[in-house]
Structure 1
Amino acid sequence: MGSISFLVMHSGRWNEDNCCINYTIEAIMLKEYVTFRDLLDEVAKQIGVDLRFNNVKLKYKIEGSNAPLEIHNEIGVRVYVSLKKDNKELTKYHLCVSVYVNDCELADRNLLEDGVGMCGIDGGDIV
């Protein structure tokens, strides 16, 4: 059983062109047959997010697509792992992580707490 390495981008946001910007980046290595739950747990542990109080969305972009793909179940994990196995370049198919607290994205929540903005359901993504 092999392992896959990938980059995780977090603490940033998606811009209007569906590109991750202003992010922090980290590397993770997981077993090839990782489950969706294991992937969520490892990403959350790596970036310091407690899944008891937060929700996490995992997205990545592929060439030729304007919109990112979201990994939200076992099939999504299998597709992602398959892409990573075919292209082992570390910077290819990095995961962009969005963190939500009480249905508000973390950046929008921080703006609200600072009195600068309002938290809306359709706000910009945190990666």
Structure 2
Amino acid sequence: MRSINILIMHSERWNEENCYIDYTIEAIMMKENATFRYLVEEVATQIGVDLRYNCMKLKYKIEGNNTPLKIHNEMGVRVYVSLKKKGKDSTKYLVCVTLFVKGCELFDRNL
């Protein structure tokens, strides 16, 4: 199975125009058939987040769309991977990570 490169933006904030600002960039390689749990764990490992004490919200933006799309389940990962595979530009569809102190559930659909 092929792998895809994913650029991750973190340590940031969203502004009023739904733009992700003041961020740091990292990268991971992910198998095309990766699960949601695998993606969350790989992102957490790469950016140094302990999921015992924090949880994450993963989003990405599609050009021309102001509202970021959430990756919050298996279908979200499959759609994201499909978009990444179609594009040749590895800087497209950067994953934006927002961290929360534990108290929310990792797989909470309201994130």
TM value normalised by structure 1? 0.79
Q: What is the Cα-based RMSD across aligned positions, in Å?
A: 1.2
Structure 2: which 5+ runs fail to align?
Answer: 105-111
Residue in 2 that maps onto 1:44: 44
Percent identical pairs in the alignment equals 68
Q: CA deviation at 1:103?
A: 5.0
Rounded Cα–Cα distance in structure 1 between residues aligned with 2:103 and 2:68 = 20
Q: What are the superposed Cα offsets for residues 42-83 of structure 1, whole Å, 9 maximum, x if unpaired?
A: 000000001111110100000221110010000000000000
Rounded Cα–Cα distance in structure 2 between residues aligned with 1:5 and 1:29 = 5
Q: Which consecutive aligned stretches of 4+ in structure 1 deviate over 6 angstroms post-superposition?
A: none
Residue in 1 that maps onto 2:90: 90
Residue in 2 that maps onto 1:100: 100
How many correspondences in the alignment? 104
TM value normalised by structure 2? 0.90
Residue in 1 that maps onto 2:2: 2
Write the letter of the residue equivalent to 1:59.
K
Which has the larger Rg?
1
Structure 1: which 5+ runs fail to align?
Answer: 105-127
Rounded Cα–Cα distance in structure 2 between residues aligned with 1:97 and 1:21 = 12
